[in-house]
Structure 1
Amino acid sequence: MMTALALLATALLFGGMILYSFGFAAFVFNALPAQTAGPLIRRAFPWFYLFVIAVSALAGLLALENDRLSAGLLAAIAATTVWARQGLMPAINRATDGGDRRRFKALHTLSVLVTLAHIGGTGFVLLRLAEQAAIR
């Protein structure tokens, strides 16, 4: 039962990250002028990060009983998302506000790479848990 719940929570995490990263953010920047899209995304990102922290932590706890590797990966996603929300995101905002385009570009690239790593790690866990659920 815990593996099935961990699988569902991980699927929610994976789908939410894909939808936000490749759906919502892209849509906002295509549908709205940059001066409107930027502030909207800035307001949405803290909520996205809270979603990732909460769901990855929950999925990790649910996976802990049957799959310590998956639980550890999900815990690492939660922890690095706390860092992204509390450290990286404010640094990106300071660079934007200060007009430091070079620093913004470097930090934004780092945030994209972190998010892609989170999506990849979550996909790996999702496949691993699905395989375990199929065996049972």
Structure 2
Amino acid sequence: MLTQVAILLSALLFGGMVLYSFGFASFLFSALPAEVAGPLLRRAFPHFYIFVILCALGAAALTVGLDTTSSLILGLIAVTALLARQLLMPAINAATDTGNRARFSILHTGSVLVTLAHIAGSAAVIVRLS
């Protein structure tokens, strides 16, 4: 039973990250002017990271006795999402606010790579547990 719940929570994590990253964010910029979409996305990101942190921590807790590797992957996702929320996101916002496009580009690319790693990690957990 714990394995199935861990798989479902990992799938929720995977699906939520994919939908937010490739669906919601893309949709906002295609449906709204950039000067509206940008601030709206900025307001949504803290909630996205809380979702990732909580799902990853919950799934990590459920997998501790089932699969140590999966638990470590999920724990790493939670920790790096916390770091992204508390450090990377404010730095990206500051670069945007000051008009520092070069710094924004580097930091944004970093955040995209972190999210892609989270997606890959959660996919690996789903495969390992299935």
Q: Give TM-score, length-normalised by structure 1.
A: 0.95
Superposition RMSD in Å: 0.4
What residue number does 1:4 align with?
A: 4
Q: How many aligned residue pairs are there?
A: 130
Taking the aligned partners of 1:30 and 1:63, their CA distance within structure 2 comes to 39
Taking the aligned partners of 2:2 and 2:65, their CA distance within structure 1 comes to 7
Report the Cα offset of residue 3 of structure 1. Answer: 0.8
The equivalences for 1:76-91 within 5 A come to 76-91=76-91
What residue number does 2:104 align with?
A: 104
> 1:87-116 CA distances to partner (integer Å, 9 max, x unpaired)?
000000000001100000000000000000
What residue number does 1:119 align with?
A: 119
> 1:15-50 CA distances to partner (integer Å, 9 max, x unpaired)?
000100000000001000000000000000000000
Q: Which runs of 5+ in 2 are unaligned?
A: none
Q: Which runs of 4+ in 1 moved over 4 A?
A: none
What residue number does 1:28 align with?
A: 28
What residue number does 2:61 align with?
A: 61
Taking the aligned partners of 1:71 and 1:37, their CA distance within structure 2 comes to 36
Taking the aligned partners of 1:64 and 1:4, their CA distance within structure 2 comes to 14
Q: Residue 41 in 1 paired to residue 41 in 2?
A: yes
Q: Which amino acid in structure 1 is aligned with residue 109 of structure 2?
A: T
Q: Secondary structure at the match of 2:105?
A: helix
Report the Cα offset of residue 65 of structure 1. Answer: 1.2
Taking the aligned partners of 2:118 and 2:52, their CA distance within structure 1 comes to 9
Q: Which runs of 5+ in 1 are unaligned?
A: 131-136
Taking the aligned partners of 2:15 and 2:7, their CA distance within structure 1 comes to 12
